[in-house]
Amino acid sequence: MIYYVEDETNIRELAIYALKQAGLETKGFPSAEPFFEACHEKVPDLILLDIMLPRIDGLTILRRLREEPRTADVPIMMLTAKGSEIDKVTGLDAGADDYLPKPFGMMELISRCNALLRRSHRTTQKSTDRITCGPISIDLSAHEAYAGGVKLELTLKEFGLLRKLMEDQGRAFSRSQLLRDVWDTDFMGETRTVDTHVLTLRKKLNDACDGAGEYIQTVRGVGYRMHPDTQGN
């Protein structure tokens, strides 16, 4: 989830639309107050900040986010209107991860967001090398997977698929998305490959631990997801 603070409604809505089209779920806020409230409830994966904002400006928001332990490590991109503002952001070294001068193109915004998300995802993965979902667990550093304590014999792709689903539990992935991320191909004709692998993966999970295969759920019309509650939600 991306949070975006921008007081100009047109820019905000256009950017949110573009980011959503690119598969990046984004919530917009016209000012700091509702944004901080939302952060209190849920810390986002990435924050986009305009600088000129009513009452509390973007640089002040940035500083507060960095001081607060919960948000200290969240990647932040500043969207700056003027050259002098860019100087401020970089000169003050207030802790932004990236900055993008206005007016910016939507493709540029999307690719910068993706880059920041990838970068922070990598660091998260490093710090936690074990992921669990119900009776299933994977050890990323050892490249091993278990169900009910029984070690699974998985192929490289099966492991990659399980890992992908485990890393983002609750999120439904389309077959083409899984193909792209696990198989590294965009060829749509191969989506059946995903189904076959899910089938064998479920069987291996169930063989190791009865019912473990149910944690990989089929999402009708979308694809698959891993869910810690097998009843769905």
Contact residues for Ca ion, defined by CB under 5 A: 7, 50, 52
The rounded distance, in Å, linking the Cα atoms of 52 and 6 is 8
Of 50 and 85, CB closest to Ca ion? 50
Of 43 and 52, CB closest to Ca ion? 52
Tell which residue, 123, 63, 121, 128, has the closest CA to residue 96.
63
Tell which residue, 25, 30, 33, has the closest CA to residue 11.
30
In the block, tokens 């922070």 appear at 120
* Smallest separation (angstroms) from Ca ion to the CB of 203: 55
Of 11 and 38, CB closest to Ca ion? 11
Of 18 and 219, CB closest to Ca ion? 18
* Smallest separation (angstroms) from Ca ion to the CB of 91: 20
* Smallest separation (angstroms) from Ca ion to the CB of 29: 12
The rounded distance, in Å, linking the Cα atoms of 60 and 66 is 10
* Smallest separation (angstroms) from Ca ion to the CB of 55: 12
Q: Which residue is nearest to Ca ion (CB)?
A: 52
The rounded distance, in Å, linking the Cα atoms of 44 and 82 is 27
